[in-house]
Structure 1
Amino acid sequence: MEDASTKAGSASRARPIAFVGLSIALMGVSAWVAIPFGPILLTLQMFAVSFAILVLKPRECMAAITGYLVLGAIGLPLFSGMRGGIGMLLGPTGGYLWGYLLGVGAALLVRKGLGHAMGEGRTNARAFAVDFLACLTFIAVSYVCGCIQYAAVVGVDLAASIAVTVVPFAIPDVLKAVAAVVCARAVARAVPRR
């Protein structure tokens, strides 16, 4: 009898670890899908991180984004263009990377706050709107951090930085957020977690 409960306890602890590991892998692979847009690469990272925000529990999501950044910083090729190392975090586009951590935290707070404010009687449309707003919060915080670091490292003014780091990516990233919400809702139906 004890053996069965020990196995069940081990399985319940292993599942969140597996989800975090899979999320880190998804973030890394999504960074490898890159299309050059001037000095910045258009990747699927915004989709992968938004998806993690919606699918993982808050603690798991923070662990996944932190793990992703730490593994990339120590040199694993998890960042755009299959690159890694601390230089990526300190370079022109590094603000996006550390902005992911701040953006995830802000998105989780928005999701929790709006979800709580709407209560249990949320309709599908309202739940979709809450998830979408959480994703937009993540993207906005990432943009702010990325734009500021790009301007500082490259030595351009904020308007020039916005023209290079935000304008070309805004519409694709909003579409990635919509895709992340749709995919996350499908996964939540298929793999109930709470």
Structure 2
Amino acid sequence: MSSTFPHDDGARTVSPVPGSVVAEVLGDPPAPRTVRRTSTDVALVATFAAFVAACALVPAIPTGAGVPITLQTFGVVVAGLVLGARRGFLAVLLYLVVGLAGVPVFAEMTGGLGVLGKPSVGYLLAFPLTAAVAGWLGGLALRARPAWRYPLLVAAGLGSSVLVTHPAGVVGLMARLGLGPAEALAIDVVYWPGDVVKNVLAAAVTLAVLRAFPDLRGGRRAA
């Protein structure tokens, strides 16, 4: 019995085997993408923590109520809008921890646990959650049509201020100054116009950053 084989003229063409296939066959571990991503996240968290600190060091505007007007809230909202809820929260939490540890990164170049006794304590402790809420709402805004993204990002920043920063600030004013709700709210109203301006700017900065670095938000390009 004879077997019939396909004709072979001796000129064989060998196709190159992709490196990924070779790695899979040989059992090599995949590229450490998770490690690289974690390193990037850590770097971004540290960078935006430093950014918030830089905003806090800009000369503050005194108000007479013991809580000056600063750029801290601008930095907090930008961190949330650009990085998203989780990383924005971590960046601002890192900033808060560093300041409470004694590094003078808070408004008027203060730091340490002594700031917890000031009227601004409510605003300060609310910052990480403010960044998280801004990041979550900002993610929804970036899913909208390009023409709507800017006003929705402004709304996301304002929403985080209204839902978190100002209520916590009012509670802090009541606790540290012995005020009633109406009196504390009357002081808090002073900061509303500045917050509107800062959130308008934060939305513009966010769009500019995400156009330049779309991977910061998982590859979503802000058109």
TM-score (norm 1): 0.85
How far apart are the structure 1 equivalents of 2:74 and 2:103?
20
Q: Please report how far the alpha carbon of residue 124 of structure 1 lies from its aligned counterpart in structure 2 after TM superposition.
A: 2.2
Matched, 1:146 2:162: no
How far apart are the structure 2 equivalents of 1:57 and 1:74?
25
Q: Provide the secondary structure at the position in 1 that maps to 2:115.
A: helix
Match of 1:99 in 2: 126
Residues 92-131 of structure 1 mapped to structure 2, 5 A cutoff: 92-112=119-139, 114-115=140-141, 122-131=144-153
How far apart are the structure 1 equivalents of 2:94 and 2:194?
26
Q: Please report how far the alpha carbon of residue 161 of structure 1 lies from its aligned counterpart in structure 2 after TM superposition.
A: 1.6
1:100/1:138 contact within 8 Å kept: no
**Could you list the per-position Cα deviations for residues 150-193 of structure 1 after superposition, in whole angstroms to 9, with x for gaps in the alignment?**
112111222222222x2221111111001000011001001121
Q: Percent identity?
A: 32
Match of 1:55 among 82, 98, 119: 82
Gaps of 5+ in 1: none
How far apart are the structure 2 equivalents of 1:93 and 1:125?
37
Q: Provide the secondary structure at the position in 2 that maps to 1:35.
A: coil
Gaps of 5+ in 2: 1-18, 20-27, 219-223
2:85/2:136 contact within 8 Å kept: no
Structure (1/2) with the larger strand percentage:
1
Match of 2:100 among 73, 80, 85: 73
- Change over 3 Å in CA distance of 1:167–1:57 after alignment to 2: closer
Matched, 1:25 2:50: yes
Moved over 6 A (4+): none
Q: Please report how far the alpha carbon of residue 54 of structure 1 lies from its aligned counterpart in structure 2 after TM superposition.
A: 1.0
How far apart are the structure 1 equivalents of 2:71 and 2:141?
26
Could you say what the CA RMSD is over the residues aligned between the two structures, in angstroms?
A: 2.4
**Could you list the per-position Cα deviations for residues 85-119 of structure 1 after superposition, in whole angstroms to 9, with x for gaps in the alignment?**
1221342111001111232333334344x449xxx
Match of 1:13 among 38, 43, 65: 38
Match of 2:3 in 1: none
1:42/1:169 contact within 8 Å kept: yes
Structure (1/2) with the larger helix percentage:
1
Aligned length: 187
Q: Provide the secondary structure at the position in 2 that maps to 1:78.
A: coil
How far apart are the structure 2 equivalents of 1:27 and 1:191?
19
Match of 1:177 in 2: 199
Whose RCO is larger (CA < 8 A, sep 6+)?
Answer: 1
More displaced stretch, 170-179 vs 14-23: 14-23
Match of 2:221 in 1: none
